[in-house]
């Protein structure tokens, strides 16, 4: 094998970082969470929420609606983290639009779908809460000002056995985030502080309960650092008291260059993700430090539909999922052969791409298809993909092969066999489900041919702290809830098991955010 799990160079780098951190920062390797007897609180609130994404704002909105004084801390300059760059799709099992359009759904069917994608390791009691309370949560979001496209047939997302997803008015999570932030800020005694970084939980004198937080104001996240959490010493220290509790809603760690690589060494430090730069593990690690139980930490969901030829989520996921993957092929550029079922689940495909990329990090596989593979509703994206250069168009397979340095004869043979197998109505070697009952070749040999290079990108970290159905964080020391500490959203683990279905992130974050806001 080329790489050791943690190479010696990495170990040295981490060691050096730790040393520099210990010298520069206020924190050091052995520091425990401060106790209230050791600090002087600058401000006092009923509830402190860490993070301003879906989970944080749902928690804050619910708590504020109950009349509590809420402070939201957001380390970035932007409000909303990943939620504000998210696509705004919310799976609402058994919703009113489904009933209107005669779609039969139930909480049980939703749980069955989630368990299948999650390989059965999901914490079912959490899914039950989502299944039961999604419609009510949806109504709460609307009450806070969120805008959705309703009165329409719901959207059908991959892995769901029925159409149950409702999309926001502007097809972005911002249609939930912006009004919810405004909803909280309008209420008396509530405040949202950006560029304010949570550093530590402040514990009661006996060390048993969370009674506040230590944070830094005027903090500037620095994406150039290997680990902003460990290295950035900027900002002014402040202590905030939380009379009723602290709600951790700090999100996942798909952009934590150090921590994600420790969990999955296939993810290089410089590898792009679909997430915003601030999606790091720091706040979650502080919860572990005071005893929170970790669950499923190394299950990092990666999008096999992304491209190295653009940053972030981009336009490729649309063009591959609703295009090239459906009727086209993905090939290994070194031998022109297929290597996976292009319509398998996210994990299976990402793993298959990594087998190639571990052997040669530059040999990104290429997805190939023709005009007819694209769903009609993504016509605008086809233009955009070509215009921005993420997707390329070739008149002949020879030109395509030459561009990506694929052996041309082998590529043609692959496509010939693929077409013939599909036309004969036989199952192909990877058991692709979309080739059934085709009356013509899935790849139209007349061309033109469209192609996109592939690169898995970290998308959602399945793991996190363990919470119960009341969003209380469970302690590994006592097996009971840590008094004063709640959590919701991507920072929690277990709910989705091995792999989360599309459009279930908003459902999870808003439902459990609301639950945390009710129980704090």
Partner 1 sequence: MCNKKTLYLVGVFLFFNAMYLIGSEVSKTPPAQEVAVSAELQEKFPLKNHHAKLSLKCADCHEGQGDEPENFQMIGDEGCLSCHKSKQYLADRLKFMDVLHVNPHNSIHDGQRLYCDECHFEHQKSENMCLNCHSNDVKIWMKDTP
346: annotated active-site residue: yes
State how far the Cα of 334 lies from the Cα of 361, in Å rounded to an integer.
12
Residue closer to partner 1 by CB (options 53, 463) is: 53
Give strand ranges (E) for 9-119. 43-50, 70-73, 89-91
Q: Which residues contact 235 (CB under 8 A, 6 or more apart)?
A: 195, 196, 197, 216, 217, 218, 219, 220
In DSSP terms, 451 is beta-bridged to 368, 392
The CB-of-18 to partner 1 minimum distance in angstroms stands at: 29
Identify which of residues 184 and 482 has a Cβ nearer to partner 1 in the complex: 184
31, 36, 39, 43 alpha-carbon torsion, rounded to 10°: 130
Q: Are 405 and 366 in contact (CB under 8 A)?
A: no
Q: How far is the CB of 402 from partner 1 (least distance, A)?
A: 23
Q: Which is nearer to partner 1, 95 or 178 (CB)?
A: 178
Tokens representing 295 are: 């669950």
**Exposure b/e, 427-437, CB count within 10 A at least 16 = b:** ebebebeebee
**Is the Cβ of residue 303 or residue 314 nearer to partner 1 in the bound state?**
314
- Provide the minimum distance between the beta carbon of 177 and partner 1 in the complex, in angstroms, as a whole number: 8
CB of 78 to partner 1, least distance (A): 6
* CA 98/CA 88 separation, integer angstroms: 18
**Residue 446 tokens, joined:** 């007349």
**439: number of Cβ within 10 Å:** 5
Question: Which is nearer to partner 1, 115 or 386 (by Cβ)?
Answer: 386
For strands 70-73 and 43-50, give the pairing.
parallel
Sequence-distant contacts of 105-112: CB under 8 A, at least 24 apart: 105/162, 105/164, 106/131, 107/131, 107/132, 109/161, 109/162, 110/160, 110/164, 112/161
Cβ 148 to partner 1, closest distance in Å?
15
User: Of residues 195, 216, 346, 500, which has the active-site annotation?
Assistant: 346
Where on the chain is the footprint of partner 1 (CB under 8 A)? 77-80, 84-85, 170, 172, 174, 178, 194-195, 276-277, 309-315, 384, 387-390
Kindly tell me which of 152 and 223 has the beta carbon lying closer to partner 1. 223
Shortest distance (Å) from residue 181 CB to partner 1: 8
Instruction: List the catalytic residues.
Output: 346
């Amino acid at each position: 094998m080329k790489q050791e799990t943690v190479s010696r160079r990495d170990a040295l780098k981490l060691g050096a970082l730790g040393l520099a951190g210990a010298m520069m920062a206020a924190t050091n390797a052995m520091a425990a969470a401060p106790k209230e007897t050791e600090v002087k609180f600058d401000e006092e609130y009923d509830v402190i929420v860490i993070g301003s994404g879906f989970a944080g704002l749902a928690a804050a909105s619910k708590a504020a609606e109950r009349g509590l004084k809420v402070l939201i801390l957001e380390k970035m300059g932007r409000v909303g983290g990943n939620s504000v760059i998210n696509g705004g799709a919310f799976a609402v099992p058994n919703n009113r639009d489904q009933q209107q359009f005669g779609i039969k759904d139930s909480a049980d069917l939703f749980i069955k779908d989630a368990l299948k994608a999650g390989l059965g390791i999901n914490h079912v009691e959490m899914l039950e809460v989502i299944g039961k309370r999604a419609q009510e949560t949806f109504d709460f979001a609307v009450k806070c000002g969120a805008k959705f496209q309703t009165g329409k047939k719901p959207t059908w997302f991959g892995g769901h056995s029925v159409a149950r997803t409702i999309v926001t008015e502007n097809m972005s999570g911002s249609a939930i985030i912006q009004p919810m932030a405004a909803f909280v800020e309008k209420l008396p005694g509530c405040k949202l502080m950006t560029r304010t970084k949570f550093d530590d939980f402040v514990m009661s004198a006996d060390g048993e309960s969370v009674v506040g937080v230590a944070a830094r104001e005027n903090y500037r996240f620095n994406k150039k650092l290997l680990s902003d959490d460990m290295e950035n010493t900027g900002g002014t220290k402040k202590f905030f008291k939380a009379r009723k509790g602290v709600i951790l809603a700090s999100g996942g760690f798909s952009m934590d260059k150090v921590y994600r690589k420790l969990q999955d060494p296939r993810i290089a430090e410089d590898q792009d993700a679909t997430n915003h730069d601030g999606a790091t593990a720091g706040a979650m690690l502080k919860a572990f430090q005071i005893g929170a139980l970790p669950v499923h930490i190394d299950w990092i969901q990666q999008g096999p539909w992304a491209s190295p030829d653009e940053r972030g989520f981009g336009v490729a996921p649309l063009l591959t999922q609703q295009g090239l993957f459906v009727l086209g092929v993905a090939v290994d550029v070194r031998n022109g052969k297929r290597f996976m079922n292009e319509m398998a689940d996210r994990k299976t495909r990402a793993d298959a791409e990594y087998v190639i990329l571990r052997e040669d990090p530059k040999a990104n596989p290429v997805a190939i298809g023709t005009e007819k593979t694209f769903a009609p509703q993504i016509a605008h994206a086809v233009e955009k993909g070509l215009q921005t250069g993420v997707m390329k168009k070739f008149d002949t397979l020879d030109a395509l092969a030459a561009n990506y340095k694929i052996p041309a004869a082998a590529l043609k043979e692959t496509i010939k066999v693929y077409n013939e197998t599909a036309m004969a109505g036989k199952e192909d070697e990877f058991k692709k489900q979309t080739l059934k009952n085709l009356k013509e070749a899935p790849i139209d040999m007349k061309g033109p041919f469209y192609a996109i290079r592939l690169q898995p990108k970290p998308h959602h970290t399945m793991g996190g702290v363990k919470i119960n159905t009341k969003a209380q964080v469970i302690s590994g020391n006592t097996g009971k809830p840590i008094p004063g500490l709640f959590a919701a959203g991507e920072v929690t683990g277990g709910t989705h098991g091995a792999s989360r279905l599309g459009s279930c992130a908003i459902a999870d974050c808003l439902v459990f955010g609301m639950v945390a806001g009710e129980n704090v």
